[in-house]
Amino acid sequence: MNPFREFRATDITAHSLQDEMGSRGYLLIRGLLPTEELNRLLGEIAQIVFTAGWLLPDHNPVERMANVSAACGDPDPLFKRTYEQIFSLESLHAFAHHAALRRVMNILVGPHLLIHGTSGTFVKYGMDPQEDRLRGKNPPQGTDWGDDWGEESEEFWGTLSVVGEASAKLRTERGDYRGFYANVRDAIEKKSVLDVSSEQALRTMRALMLAHKSSRLKRTVLWEEEVD
């Protein structure tokens, strides 16, 4: 196995990151996130697992000395409870929005779609291909928009990375704006029901507004929270 190529956070440039990802497919960046903030988060996690009995009781939790006699796993109720406590930490989720990490991800994939879940990450390159074609010099005319309308090039497909599994490309579903407006027309003429109900539209608006709130406050927000 070849040794990891390391970067220092202070040496990061758009050119160096993109070249490294293009040639090797990975990056190891030292000093990207502040040590003080990482240690604070590790301290919170250590306290949770210490309380659960997973660390030796006669040691400082910060030392993170495992209590092997307390080993457990799914579906043990204690494991699930401790797991949920850790993944409910706002400070843990805040790291996904850390300015330093966002800067690197913006260089690598652009500010389009980056989703962090409790079990993995989804990264999506590019935007809806219909937009560029409609804004281009030769937008489609009439009713025949071509057999490839709404198809996206494989290079822009999203990548799903799940813990314990190999990363996989997910083909982008073919889009066609015309279907939405045809359905609205049919609903107005009482020939069909709306495919996208007003309730669904309102939920989408709420999700977008909560996403803005989460970004603004740099913390995880709950669906039930007030939108402001």
83-120 per-position pLDDT tens digit:
888 888 888 877 777 878 877 777 776 656 778 788 88
Can you give the residue ranges of every domain in the chain? 112-175
Q: How far apart (Å, rounded) are the C-alpha atoms in residues 27 and 4?
A: 8
Mean pLDDT along residues 185-198: 93
In this prediction, what percent of the chain has a pLDDT beyond 70?
A: 93
| Structural element, H or E, at residue 170 | strand 168-170
Q: Is the pLDDT of residue 181 over 60?
A: yes
Peptide bond into 61 cis (omega under 30): no
C-alpha separations of 7 from 14, 19, 28, 95, 102 in Å: 12, 12, 6, 20, 17
Structural tokens at position 114:
């980056």
At residue 183, the pLDDT reads: 95
At residue 194, the pLDDT reads: 92
Q: Which amino acid is at 22?
A: G
At 159, the pLDDT band (50, 70, 90 cuts) reads: confident
